[in-house]
Structure formats: structure tokens, C-alpha cells
Amino acid sequence: MADHNAAGPSRTGPQLPTEPAADPAPERRSRTYEVMARVRAVESLQSELWDRGLVSGELHTGVGEEAVAAGVVGQLRDGDAMALDHRATGPLVVRGVDPAALLRETLGLENGLCHGMGGHMHLFAPDVLAASDGIVGSSGPTACGLALAGRHRRPGTVAVAFFGEGATNAGPLLESWNLAVAWNLPVLFVCKDNGWAITTRRRDVTGGHLVRRARSFGLRVRSVDGWRVEAVTAAAGTLLDAARAGRGPGLLHARVRRPDGHFLGDAMLRVLTDPVAQMKTLAPGLWSSARTSGGAPLRGRAGAATHLGGRFAALAADRAFRRRDPLAHARRRLPPEVADMVDARVAEEVAALTADLEAELSAGPVGGAR
């Protein structure tokens, strides 16, 4: 492990400017779009590998969260730390971690980022002080500890915690908000609010208002459209500056979409993407159970069926992703010829990555695929 008390991060991937404000605006926009496009491309590759049966278990992508990753992580400096959740790939790519190492870890290869021990949900990059955790809500308390260590060992640095709004019902996360305020820790909490806790609607399990809730803890809060990278960057910048200067922790509330569902193969999503096959599987059991004697009266059963229907309808409405695709938005902010150039560069990178991976895959069985 690197001695991160002394050494700065040694990055293998492309660098983002550490002082984005010093860049001329068009150049900055182009770099931001490029890193977002790289994140999308790496996660698309992950999805493809999963589809092919080369990745076992669950796979959570951060598609829809690219602007949050780029807008927040793009502003981090040497010595800053990150506590990540189960969608950690994007922030790590933005931080400059080698995409090839991330993809190999997704495949469970010995030469992956963590030697194939953790997989995509448990990614650790000590040289950039980034640790992820698959237990919902853990990132908040971990970031508090990283920030405390930062205050001792790396003054002027911050720690960032990423989590979804579902995590704001986990006790330890709420406790970490109080801890950060009570100890005046340089923490930025980043809440990616996609409106769904796994496959349950936020409104069915969350009371009150998240922004007001965070403010009542004494956090400095900004709420933004998470698909607009310029909005994320501006709000995160303000909060990071305050935290860095010792003026207290902040929370960035970013409204995002989740077009891939909670994880790939999301059962709720499949009902929408493959309705005929799914209804063939689901309908007989539902129908026979609804008609079995012993249980609720008819009105209760009808209410339950209505609830299920409403849940799917809400998901369907939520899937209008294209208009709020963070990547498309970032692209629209560039002159078309610049955007084309960036796309070509990323495509070239991805082609090289794919070729390397395919070479490794042809060397032997991976991930338990047939």
C-alpha cells in the first residue's frame, strides 16, 4: 500500500485539472464531457461483460450519475478522500484510477484493482484514498473518519461521501451527519436522489423532506439537478470550499435518474422492458394467490393490486431518461466538432481496453460463465 500520509496520489489514468476555475471555459467543458463519456463507456463495458455471464453476482452501474461524479470528484485535490457506495466505478474513473484495473476487478481477475477479491461493489484505491462499501449508509461514517484523519495528517483536505437517498433512512448515515457537524469535520455528503430505495418508491418509505432534514442537522445544503454538470460543479464547489476552510460540512442533494434500475436485471425494470415474458412468469402466481380463500376481504386485495400497478407506473414514468441524460447534456454544451473529437478519442480508448480484455478472456474461463 502507498504511504498516503506523505505521497500524493499516483494516478495511472488521464488527469483532470485540479484547479478547474483556472481553465478557459470551453477547454473545461470539453474535459468534463470527456471524463463523463469515459465513465459511461467503462460502465457500458461492465454491463456487456455482465450480460455475457462473465461477471457473477450483482452489478450496479452509475448510469445517470455521471454528472455528479464529474462535478464533484473533478474538483478534488491531492490528499482528498472518498467514501463510495455500491456504484463506485464512476467516481474512481473520474479520480483517475485505471479503467482497465477496474474492469479486470469486475471480472474477478488476479490483476484487477483489488486482485479479484472485492469485485465491483468493494473497490479500494489506497493511492487516491478511495474506499467503497456495499452496506447502504456506511459511506457517511467512513467519510467522517477520513475527514478526521485528514485534519490530523493532511490539513486543508476534504472527505466526500457518496450515497443514494435510500441510505438517508439508515441510522448510521444520519448519525454521521450529526457527527460531522458536532466535530466540524471537512466532509461533503453527496446524496444521489433517484427516488428509489432498491425497488421501493421513496414516497412509500421516506417521511418529510430530505433537504430540510439535512439542514436541521446543521449541514450546509445545496440541491441541484444532478444531470446538469455545471449545476453540480458550482454547488459542490461552494460546499467543498467551505468544508476545506473549516467552515463546516455540507450536503449536496442531486436529483438523478436510474435507467439501469437498482442493478442489472432489476426485476421491476424487466416488467417494463420485457412485459410479455415477465407477465407470463408473474401473472399466474399473483392471480391464483389473489383468489385463494383466507386473507383480506376483496377491497383489501384490490388495494394491494392497485399498489403494485402504481409502483410499475411510477417506474415507467421515471424511465423518460433521454431528455435528462447527463452525458447528452454535457455534449450539447460543446461545439459539435469538439464533441465529435472527444467521442473519437474515447472510442479509441475503449477499443484498446476491449482488445486487452478480450485477450485476457481468451486465456481462460472467467466469472463462472459456461
Partner 1 sequence: MSTLRFGAAVDAGLAAAMAEDDSVVTWGEDVRLLRRELLVRFGKDRVLDAPISEAAFVQAGVGAALGGLRPVVEVMLADFLATAWSALLNSVAKVTDFSGGRWRLPLVVRTACGGWYGDGGQHEQALWGSLAGIPGLKVVVPSTPADAAGLMLAAVRDDDPVVVLEHKLLSEAWLDYLGGSTRGNLALDVPAAGAAGEVPQPVRPTPIGTATLRREGRDLSLVAVGVGVHRALEAADRLATEGIEAAVLDLRTVAPLDREAVVEVATRTGRLVVVDEDYIRAGLSGEIAAVLSEDGVGARYARVAVEGTIPFDRGREHQALPNVDRILQAAKALA
CB of 325 to partner 1, least distance (A): 23
Least distance (Å) between residue 362 CB and partner 1 = 16
Q: How far apart are CA 220 and CA 225, in angstroms?
A: 17
Q: What are phi and psi of 255, to 5 degrees?
A: -80, 120
In the bound state with partner 1, the residue whose beta carbon lies nearer, of 33 and 162, is 162
Nearer CB in complex with partner 1: 56/223: 56
Shortest distance (Å) from residue 253 CB to partner 1: 17
**Per-residue CA distances from 162 to 132, 159, 286 (Å):** 9, 10, 37
Nearer to partner 1 by C-beta: 117 or 344?
117
Of 174, 192, 194, 190, nearest to 182 by C-alpha is 174
Q: How far is the CB of 199 from partner 1 (least distance, A)?
A: 5
* Cβ proximity to partner 1, 52 vs 332, nearer residue: 52
Indicate the DSSP class of residue 202: H
Interface residues with partner 1 (CB under 8 A) are 50-53, 56-59, 108-110, 116-119, 121-122, 133-137, 166-167, 169-172, 197-200, 204-206, 263-268, 270, 282, 285-286, 289-290, 292, 294-296, 300-301, 303-305, 307-308, 311, 365, 367-370
State how far the alpha carbon of 240 is from the alpha carbons of 56, 120, 188, 199, 230, in Å: 37, 27, 7, 32, 15
Q: At its nearest, how many Å lie between partner 1 and the CB of residue 183?
A: 22
- Nearer to partner 1 by C-beta: 66 or 260? 260
* Distance of closest approach, residue 12 Cβ to partner 1, in angstroms: 21
Q: CA distances (Å), 234 to each of 91, 124, 219, 295, in order?
A: 17, 28, 17, 54
Taking the C-alpha atoms of residue 115 and residue 41, their distance in angstroms, rounded to an integer, is 22
Nearer to partner 1, 204 or 348 (CB): 204
- Tell me the one-letter amino acid at 68: V
